Structure 1
Amino acid sequence: MSRLLRVELRRLWARKVTRWACAAVLVLVALSTLVAYSTARPPSAREVADAQAAFASEQAMWEEEGEQWVADCEADAEAQDMTPQEWGCDQMAPSLENYLPPTQTFVPDAEQSEMMLGTGEGVPDADAGAAAIEEIRASVWNQWGGLGSLDDLAMLLVVLALVVGVSFVTAEINSGSLGMWLTFEPRRRRVYWSKAAAAAIGTVPLVLVGFAVLVGGAYAAYASFGTLGDVTGATWAEVAAFTGRLVVAGAVLAAVGVALGVLLKHAAAAVGVVGVVAWVCLAFGYASGELQRWLPTTALTAWLQGGSVFTIQNCAPAADGTYECAPVDHVVTTAQGGLTLLGLAAVVTLVAIVVFRRRDVS
């Protein structure tokens, strides 16, 4: 088995699609670094001066008419049967920060973190404590910042791993080389596992190095402008944990790619099926209610981000005969997401093994 694995690893890295995937990672890093440079730049002196002038003008108007504005706001709040605070009457005073262009940091500062924690849509359900939800939302991957923006790019890396796994098998099936290879090694189960293991192991450098360079490029961009924020040892520990989970996810999806390649025989069909499943989950997942917990996209997000929160509407009949609905937050933990992802991968792999042992590969 070890010799088979070494042979398959050499084949994997000799394929053009693997080299194109490496080139795609380099392009992704370049574009990400350019975007980071554009978002890391603090306001220029001209922008600060313009903001101060606009703030001074608004402040003068506030001093003259502010009391009347607040009174009108409170009257509107009373008409809507809401408190002035709920209507925002206590936030009407002009602030200089509202006129300055938004400044993004590599890691969100304490004020930005508090703002993010205050954006929850609903109350936690009985099994999901408020502390658990706040901890998930406080993660740098769920907040507005340079490091958090790398989350979506990390998803592209695992998609590349899946594409490499798919192409690794479909190219050999369509060219006939897989049938030729089975004349030298007729034990199909060993052949399948060697290819799945090669795809999983061989894509680790692609994902690991790719994400490391992404983080390094973003860090350099923000460091050049002095907008890193509060970067601590805990931050790098969270980055390291995310990277480890990302590598595992990439390896699992590469093995899933091999399974889909065996089942569908064509790379376009396999990638298309993955795209359709992802689109259905994202477009109609909210309508599935608590079944969102078991969706592949939810599982992948929870595994990568150290947990995920989804919201459903809990509706109950009111005293007047109508229905009242309130948003309720549900938590998917890291372990739940990882086990769900692993279970789905195991099912697809077992089906692929059965098919591979019985079906003609020509």
Structure 2
Amino acid sequence: MRSLLRAELARVRARPLVLGVLVVVTLGAVGLVLFGWWDTRPPTGAQVEAAHVQLAEAERLWQAEGEAVVERCKELEAGARAKTPEVSFGCDAMAPVVEAYLPYRPDLATVLVERLPTVWLMAVIGMLMTGVGLVTAEFRSGAIATWLTFAPRRGRVFLSKLVAACVAALVVAVVPTAVALGGLVAVCALNGAATGVDAVVAGGLATSAARWIAVGIAATVAGHGLGFAVRHAAGVTGIVVWWAATVESALPLVLPAAGWVRTSTNLEAWLTGQATYTVVTCVADPRSPEGRFCEGLVHTVGAGQGALATGVLVAVTLLAGWLSFRLRDVT
């Protein structure tokens, strides 16, 4: 099995598909770094001058009305604290400052939270393409038939190709993430934006990265199974489009109670901790002009349920691919 896996990894490295997907996803990450640089660029001299003019006017008004504004703020704060003791309106920090009149510049933590999920989404799509493309290329070129003459045990061939595809997919995910992370840190430091990231934000990003990687591996495995089942990239694309049109779009309209079946809902639940969908129920109401009263009932899908539903779907695609490869001729 080890020699077969080493051979599969060597064949994966020789496939231009993996390099092409890696380059495309990495270019997308570089584009997001450029957007990060644009968002965090320092204000121009004209913007600084205009901010000081606005600050001077605000300070003039503050000298006349500031004391009354602070007093009113403290009255409102005291009333709010009667219900919520820990509330704070920041009344002692209401004096105008020049930063309030400069263009908004996000700090590093904000930039990472906003940009990295987009990189991870592109990586998941690239991982799906890797899982599908590595298999369908074998059938398209006829190399799979030749390979089986040297390794006739189809179970080992199927498993070794799956592991090799997952390894290649991890590269497709890790390299763009490293490029985006390093690039965003660099541009924030270059532009003088705040570069501190507290432990809570860092922990949240690490958790999100792990969850996205799990989704990417699931996409790779599903693509691997569909590739063996359909044996053509166009066929896999057709299945994905059909699933998006029926299960993701049409089914919730026809049967709202089946909202938990949607892959997008389950993935959202896994990635964010929970997801919701609404089911509208109507009852007879003589007092209503329409003779009925309708109310939307919100249902929650937890992370565990989302992971289970997605895992079952991935397992079904993998089983379909294995059965097709095991029972059908490859020529």
Whether the TM-score (by the shorter chain) exceeds 0.5 is yes
2:228 matched residue in structure 1: 262
Counterpart amino acid of 1:349? Answer: L
Matches of 2:186 and 2:231, distance apart in 1: 43
Q: Secondary structure at the match of 2:152?
A: coil
**Is the CA contact (8 Å cut-off) linking 1:219 and 1:228 kept in structure 2?**
no
1:355 aligns with 2:324: yes
1:190-241 residue CA offsets vs partner (Å, 9 max, x unmatched): 2112211221233212212322322222232233334347621222222222
**Is the CA contact (8 Å cut-off) linking 1:42 and 1:225 kept in structure 2?**
yes
Change (3 A) 1:281 1:229: farther
Change (3 A) 1:98 1:166: same
2:20 matched residue in structure 1: 20
1:79 matched residue in structure 2: none
1:342 aligns with 2:308: no
**Is the CA contact (8 Å cut-off) linking 1:200 and 1:252 kept in structure 2?**
no
Matches of 2:121 and 2:241, distance apart in 1: 13
1:118-167 residue CA offsets vs partner (Å, 9 max, x unmatched): xxxxxxxxxxxxxxxxxxxxxxxxxxx54223212211101111111111
1:309 aligns with 2:275: yes
Matches of 1:253 and 1:39, distance apart in 2: 32
Q: Secondary structure at the match of 1:360?
A: coil
Matches of 1:49 and 1:268, distance apart in 2: 58
2:105 matched residue in structure 1: 103
Give the Å deviation of 1:107: 2.7
Matches of 2:296 and 2:49, distance apart in 1: 43
Matches of 2:100 and 2:204, distance apart in 1: 31
Identity of aligned residues (%): 29
Q: Give the number of aligned pairs.
A: 291
Give the Å deviation of 1:327: 5.5
1:224 matched residue in structure 2: 190
1:30 matched residue in structure 2: 30
Q: Secondary structure at the match of 1:231?
A: coil
Change (3 A) 1:214 1:7: same
1:288-313 residue CA offsets vs partner (Å, 9 max, x unmatched): 5343322122222332x332433425
Matches of 2:297 and 2:51, distance apart in 1: 40
Change (3 A) 1:177 1:336: same
1:158-201 residue CA offsets vs partner (Å, 9 max, x unmatched): 11111111111111111111011112222222211221122123
1:238 matched residue in structure 2: 204
Q: Secondary structure at the match of 1:25?
A: helix
**Is the CA contact (8 Å cut-off) linking 2:112 and 2:181 kept in structure 1?**
no
Gaps spanning 5+ residues in structure 1: where? Answer: 64-94, 109-144
Give the Å deviation of 1:315: 4.5
1:264-323 residue CA offsets vs partner (Å, 9 max, x unmatched): 2112331343245346566557635343322122222332x3324334254444562255
In the superposition, the TM-score normalised over structure 1's length comes to: 0.69
CA RMSD after TM alignment: 3.3
1:185 aligns with 2:151: yes
1:214 matched residue in structure 2: 180
Give the Å deviation of 1:352: 1.2
Give the Å deviation of 1:45: 4.6
Matches of 2:322 and 2:30, distance apart in 1: 39
Matches of 1:319 and 1:215, distance apart in 2: 60
Change (3 A) 1:357 1:313: closer
1:86-124 residue CA offsets vs partner (Å, 9 max, x unmatched): xxxxxxxxx99997644333334xxxxxxxxxxxxxxxx
Out of 250, 255, 260, the position equivalent to 1:293 is 260
Matches of 2:105 and 2:23, distance apart in 1: 32
1:12-43 residue CA offsets vs partner (Å, 9 max, x unmatched): 12100011122113312221111111122354
Matches of 1:150 and 1:103, distance apart in 2: 17
2:125 matched residue in structure 1: 159
In the superposition, the TM-score normalised over structure 2's length comes to: 0.75
Q: Secondary structure at the match of 2:204?
A: helix
1:77 matched residue in structure 2: none
Matches of 2:247 and 2:43, distance apart in 1: 39
